[in-house]
């Protein structure tokens, strides 16, 4: 789910747009964080919602989050700067019941 990069950590996610509300759904295929997004997949709205959601979740500024791969796909790689893998895993632990 997480990969250490030179400039931060890369989080692999699977998004489901048009959900009733944005929330973590669990793990997708044992390697991706599954996230439901309230926004539709039109004009970058779902990507913007994903960045807002991850910013709030991991308590990092939006400018420290960027899409590395998957701008128009459901499976994405998101670069998070200003947080370690250990910190991110600790934040996700209550949501994943690990």
Model pLDDT for residues 53-68, shown as the tens digit of each residue: 999 999 999 999 999 9
Q: What letter does residue 77 receive in the DSSP assignment?
A: E
Residue 98 predicted with pLDDT over 60: no
What SS3 state is found at 80? strand
Cβ(78)–Cβ(68) under 8 Å? yes
Q: What is the CATH number of the domain that holds 34?
A: 3.30.1200.10
What SS3 state is found at 40? coil
Distances (CA, A) of 71 to 43, 51, 61, 76, 88: 11, 12, 20, 7, 22
> pLDDT value at position 95?
85
> pLDDT value at position 30?
85
Q: What is the dihedral of CA 8, 24, 89, 75, to 10 degrees?
A: -40
Domain that holds residue 89: 2-96
The residue whose two tokens read 């964080």 is 33
pTM for the structure as a whole: 0.92
For the chain, the domain total comes to 1
pLDDT category, 69, cuts 50, 70, 90? very high
Cα-Cα-Cα-Cα dihedral sign, residues 43, 63, 66, 30: negative
Report, as an integer, the average pLDDT of 40-49. 95
Average pLDDT of every residue of the chain: 94
């Amino acid at each position: 789910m997480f990969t250490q990069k030179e400039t931060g950590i890369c989080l692999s996610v699977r998004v489901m747009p048009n959900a009733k509300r944005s929330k973590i759904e669990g793990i997708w295929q044992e390697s991706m964080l599954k996230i439901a997004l309230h926004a539709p997949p039109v004009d970058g709205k779902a990507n913007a919602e994903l960045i807002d959601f991850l910013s709030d979740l991991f308590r990092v500024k939006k400018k420290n989050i960027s899409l590395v791969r998957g701008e128009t796909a459901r499976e994405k790689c998101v670069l998070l700067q200003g947080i370690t893998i250990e910190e991110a895993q600790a934040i996700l632990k209550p949501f994943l019941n690990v």
